[in-house]
Structure 1
Amino acid sequence: MPRIIRPSTLRRTGAALALALAVPAALAWTGKPVRMLVPAPAGGTMDVIARLLADQLSADLGQPVVVDNKPGAGGSIAISTLLAAPADGQTIMVTASNVLTEVPHVLKTPFDPLKDVRPIAAVARSRLLLVGTPSLPARDLAGLVAYARANPGKLSFASYSAGTASHYAGAILNQKAGLDLQHVPFAGSGPALAQVMGGQIPLMFDGMVTSLPLLKGGKLQAYAVASKTRSPLLPQVPTFAELGYPELDFSNWVGVIGSARLPEALAARIAAASYRAAATPRVHERMKDLGYEPIEAQSLPQLGQAVRTEFERNAGIVKAFGIQP
């Protein structure tokens, strides 16, 4: 799984990374306009990230990078468009990794995420965390577990879709803590969070990007972050690992993917340009404002293996808990 860049690491390696990720004009992968597909509607968080990268890439490459929104079908419409285009680097895609590692387990997709798609650059990630309605009397995870055990069959948890990490995490918490929280799936974080804020559903595993503004506004309370280390965006919130639930470790990265038919050298140049764009102060700070955490640059083989590992882990969870498409 991609590692978060700690402030100390940034200080020690900033100059080296800047040098390593520099992309002279002679190494730019194209002399033509680039089409950047996004599997989400205009105006959403994913679209904002894509446009940030597109603007910076345009400036760096001296070529227009045009965002083309192709929402729907769990990302399959955008990926099908990507795979139908020539594998010449003129068409790339900015997406969240769950399009490759979660969605194919619960939706029939016209592509093989491990064979047809090449992960190119993971530039930032969003961690999952457990949030609850402010009216819940439990103020920490131990209190929540005790409260749920004292009220069997009365509590539920929302997810932003069945068969996603938001669902997996609740199933694992039920198993490991001996709870019987009932799963209520929604079509996206927005409608689910509305129910949690309103108190109709008390709990939800959600991504940092959508929950962070509501936590800051006092509309939700946070119980634990589903990762091994604390988030610099919520340093006061403990992790499930430190509270005795190391299995609850879920996050999604956002970054660039391409067709698996892209030549390795061409994909490497796109990766270098993408990492360089993401490392610019303007893009870097805006991603943090949106609730994303910068992550270290990875080689193409490293990133490909990380996607395979996460895909296989999710396949195991789907099988173990009998999650149906």
Structure 2
Amino acid sequence: MRRRTAMLALAAALCAGAAQATDKPVKLIVPAPPGGTIDVFARIISDQLALEIRQPVIVENRPGAGGAVAVKYMLSQPADGSVLLVSVTNVLTEAPHVLKSGFDPLKDVKPIAEMARSAMLFIASPQFPAKDAREAIAYVKANPGKVSVASYSPGTSSQYASAILNQKAGLDMEHVPFPGSAPALAQVMGNQIPLMFDGSVTSKPLIAAGKVKLLAVAYKSRMPEYPDVPTMAELGYPELNFSNWAGVFASAQTPAAVLEKVHAALTKINAVPAVRARYASTGFEPIAEPRSLQQAEEDVRLEYERNGAIVKAFGIKLN
């Protein structure tokens, strides 16, 4: 009886606010195709959420326009907590600086829960003649105009990182953007483009398989799975500190009480050891300490403003 009462309470927490049936499916909207990183992340959440509330939790993929398609769809639905966005923050903090998104990322969307983080890695093709970032930088300097660097999209932190390294290290790497990590990584694996800054989630299995080479971590701290790999800050480039957190977002029109209840439900899910283990297995770093709604909103604002300053400083535009 106690277990049933707890589950009913969780269901009510998730769907409270508007008068709606408790058996109404919950939709988690993903701004990426099936099988991608954030899609996998969303299905980890949906599996646990369905177990907790004993009602359908549906993952719906709506890729396109740098995430704007998914965000605008969510904003078009009733703001009652039954349609939520599962995404990494770059949809709100990077893409709107270079794409006409059709929404205000700081006013129209509210972050509900920060759940896991993906750090940026500096990687190379297996054939690239450098075993680490220091040697890679020396090689680029010794071969001016001959080395290119891929990114998973123009106007993203993948491009920001290479632009900053070019400036700070006095390099001239040519930026070659792709529509996503997968096509960019294919070029790196094939040695057509030797270097790239990529997220840990998509790079991790390729590093383990020897298909790409890890040169350095472009994040503020070393990663537990790569304890011997230094950060770019340790090599003298503290500006190369990039990561995105993944979590759940809602329409800003959602009542505050509903946001608080959904936040509580997701915080409970995020503490489940099996969920955290699944995050880690995909390359995400679980966020250890829960962030409040107010803290999450401030985190998005700071990331948005930092990225905006980078875009302005480097004159980054959509190619």
TM-score by length of 2: 0.92
Q: Which residue number corresponds to residue 19 of structure 2?
A: none
Q: 1:72 deviation in Å?
A: 1.2
Unaligned residue ranges in structure 1 (runs of 5+): 1-22
In 2, Cα distance between the equivalents of 1:155 and 1:183?
Answer: 9
2:28 to 32, 36, 58: 36
Matches within 5 A, 1:81-120: 81-120=73-112
In 1, the alpha carbon distance for the partners of 2:99 and 2:225 equals 32
Structure 1 residue 317 corresponds to structure 2 residue 306? no
Q: CA deviation at 1:25?
A: 4.0
Give, in whole Å, the separation in 2 of the partners of 1:226 and 1:320: 20
Q: 1:19-63, CA deviations, whole angstroms, 9 ceiling, x for partnerless residues?
A: xxxx77435232342111111122222112111211211121222
Q: Helix, strand or coil for the counterpart of 2:14?
A: coil
SS at match of 1:183: strand
Aligned residues: 303
2:55 to 52, 60, 63: 63
Q: Matches of 1:216 and 1:319 in 2, distance apart?
A: 36
User: Given that residues 228 and 242 in structure 1 are in contact (C-alpha distance below 8 angstroms), is that contact kept between their aligned partners in structure 2?
Assistant: no
Match of 2:295 in 1: 302
Q: Name the amino acid aligned to 1:309.
A: L
Q: Which residue of 2 aligns with 1:184?
A: 176
Verify the 8 A CA contact 1:133 1:219 in the aligned structure 2.
Answer: yes
Residue 131 of structure 1: which of 123, 147, 160 is its match? 123
Aligned partners of 2:36, 2:127: CA distance in 1, in Å?
29
What amino acid is aligned across from residue 171 of structure 1 in structure 2? A
Q: C-alpha separation between the residues in 2 aligned to 1:71 and 1:147?
A: 38
Q: Which runs of 4+ in 1 moved over 3 A?
A: none
Q: Does 1:157 align with 2:149?
A: yes
Q: TM-score if structure 1 supplies the norm length?
A: 0.90
Q: How many angstroms does 1:279 deviate by?
A: 2.3
C-alpha distance after superposition, 1:275-316 (max 9, x if no partner): 222222222111111110001310011110110001011110
Cα distance between partner residues in 2 of 1:221 and 1:43 = 23
Q: Is the 8 A contact 1:233 1:291 kept in 2?
A: no
After TM superposition, give the deviation of residue 73 of structure 1 in Å. Answer: 1.4
Take 2:80 and 2:207, find their aligned partners in 1: how far apart are those partners?
A: 43
